[in-house]
Amino acid sequence: MAERLSKADVTALLRRWGKDGAVDDRLFRAVEGELRRIAAAYMRRERPDHTLQPTALVNEAYLRLVAGAVAWEDRAHFFAVAARVMRQILVDHARKHRAAKRGAGRRAGGSVSKVADPAGAGDIDVLALHLALEDLAKLDPRQASIVELRYFGGLTEEEVARTMDLSAKTIQREVASAKFWLRHRMRSKG
């Protein structure tokens, strides 16, 4: 059962993470519901025959988060990194799936894994979007985090605003700007 903690309490637990097993368990219970929601949103955007389940995505992401030596700034930082880790797991999965479809040097026709395009142009290849988001993160890390939380994490603009401690108007501006940039980047790389 998810434990309801304030943002400050979650931040305090994040800063003590890895130093006390009881803290680790309490933190996981506090963030598990949101991690599951992010994973479910990611999976809704994946192809219908995807073999990875949301629970497996949460578990794999949590294992990667635990293994890393991250100095967590706050709750927003944690969820931004968690969303990025989940996206990376799906990208890795898509790459393996694509390689398996290619077989021994045979080219696979078409895209293997599609997601809803944050730029609003239909479905696009998850690997192509991953590369575009990596480019965006180099230019504007905050904007890339907003896109990850909004489109891949499935959060509403208001939820992203609360998570990142920004105004809803700022999130709306950043989303509009990111959509424009991603649309341009996807066209120029396509």
Tell me the CA distances in angstroms from 21 to 13, 24, 26, 95, 186, one per residue in order: 11, 5, 9, 35, 44
Length of the chain measured in residues: 190
Whether 116 is covered by a domain: the verdict is yes
Q: What per-residue confidence (pLDDT) applies to 170? A: 95
Maximum CA extent, the chain:
53
DSSP β-bridge partners for residue 124: 115
- pLDDT for position 118: 52
List C-alpha distances in Å: 45 to 1, 11, 118, 119, 148.
26, 29, 11, 14, 13
Q: Is residue 25 part of a domain?
A: yes
Give, for all 190 residues of the chain, the pLDDT tens digit.
556 788 788 888 888 876 766 777 888 888 888 888 888 877 877 777 777 888 889 989 988 887 776 778 888 788 888 888 888 898 888 788 777 766 644 444 333 344 444 544 445 566 777 788 889 999 999 999 888 888 776 678 888 888 788 999 999 999 999 989 988 888 887 6
Q: Is the pTM here over 0.75, yes or no?
A: no
The pLDDT value given to residue 165: 83
Q: Is residue 2 part of a domain?
A: no
On whether residue 1 sits in a domain, the answer given is no
Identify the domain containing residue 115 by its residue range.
7-189
Q: Specify the DSSP element, H or E, that contains 124.
A: strand 123-125
**Quick one: DSSP state of residue 108?**
P
Among left, alpha and beta (phi > 0; psi -120 to 50; other), residue 20 is beta
Query: How many folded domains does the chain comprise?
Result: 1
